[in-house]
Structure 1
Amino acid sequence: MIQVNQTQISEQAILAEMQYHPADSQRAAMLKAAESLVIAELLRQRAQQLGMEVATNQSSTGEHDYLEQLIEREVPIPTASRQECEHYYQQNPQRFTSSPLLEVQHILLAAAPDDDQERVHAKALAEELLQQLQQGHAFAELARKYSACPSNQTGGSLGQISKGQTVPEFERQLFAAEAGLLPSPVESRYGLHVVFIQQKIAGQTLPFAAVEQKIADYLNEKVRRKAIAQYIHTLVVQAEIDGYDFNLSDSPLMQ
């Protein structure tokens, strides 16, 4: 049983709330549900004190409605200035750079992730193909003969690719490499790849004007979250809460 300023939150209400808080264990789900109900009750009580129309049932589903109204009435939230946006832009250039472009050819030697024997065979063939390429054999010819990718019809060409266009384990190794024939096969969930990077075009820094609104939205949301955290912290500190050890750092609304 939990009590929030003389209002009780029943075990039944907590059990009903648990369906909205999936977790690794029943106890963790119960703690999340209890915390959410405590916050919802604090917001409901504060809304009632201010003469707002409030629901009588114990549920967290209306907490965000109360929160929006309470923040609007009680918490001034500043917005980011152009100067603050420019400062953030200058301090985080890596966030505002377009993806590099790679022009790539590959030979896919298909092998299932869980077939160790097939993988060993594919790796041996990949290393053999690398030797042939280093000796001057045409990449396109070998791709047409050995590759299991539909790109074999175009000599293994994948065209120009940017980040996010291929599977992560393949992408990580490609974008970390320099132009030319990669000295070792690249593994992915599909098998082993022999890769030739024909061209690597570095990403370009986006102009401030193109990202100013995005930066402003990010900074404003950051300030808003902090304001919400401080507001709920104030309600918790001022309240009498029995039966629940309120850990502010774990609350989704306190992030």
Structure 2
Amino acid sequence: MTILVNGVAVTDQDWPTPQMAAVHELLRQRAVALGWLDHEAEPAAVNEAIERVLAEEVRIPDVDEAACRRYYAQHAQRYQSDELVFARHILFQITQGAPVAAVRAMAEAMLTELRAQPALFAERARRHSNCPSGELGGELGQLQRGATVPEFEQALFEGTALGVLPQLVKTRFGFHIVAVDQRVPGKSLPFEHVHDRVADDLHGDAEARALSQYVRVLAGQAEVQGVELDAATSPLIQ
């Protein structure tokens, strides 16, 4: 089905999801409405204008000491020393011009296969992974926090599951099938030792919520067809 945002057709083949393609168009149109972008602008100018929209229109709450302590208490598992995960992965790389939807479909199909037959993981990694670790059956060895990109780290550490994880992990490199073989728990670190890290994490979460809310309001004010966006009609939504 064709995606339309306020009557403008949107191509989603270069985006991980149709929703992301529609959101990009919403933000582009907002930049045009604000007079910060021409309708026929080049992609680089579009991206720059969207960054300006987000910087000037999205309000991110301040992070104070009390909020940091609450966040630390709610996410204590994040702040441990020497926490290790032994993992493997299969990377389906996304390169410029690659058919993203087709790459994702291949990855999803293999994920389904490996969830049913995990013993095939090493063989599939050797044949199909676009990461050098494929030669080792996808083995990444022991990993600790900070050793990988944030999206991959979250998939590894924000849970307790073992085996082939049920969802693909999307990073800047592409789509990953991930298997967690072992978890070695760490020791909790005192709040005072991780204060700056807690503040950064809390700010990141607050920023993500603010961005999501802003996009939902834009979607609520727009006419969007061909894709479902979580729209809101009030800027006061939580």
Pick the structure with more helix per residue. 1
Whichever of the two has the greater Rg, that structure is 1
Which TM-score bucket, shorter chain as reference? Answer: 0.3 to 0.5
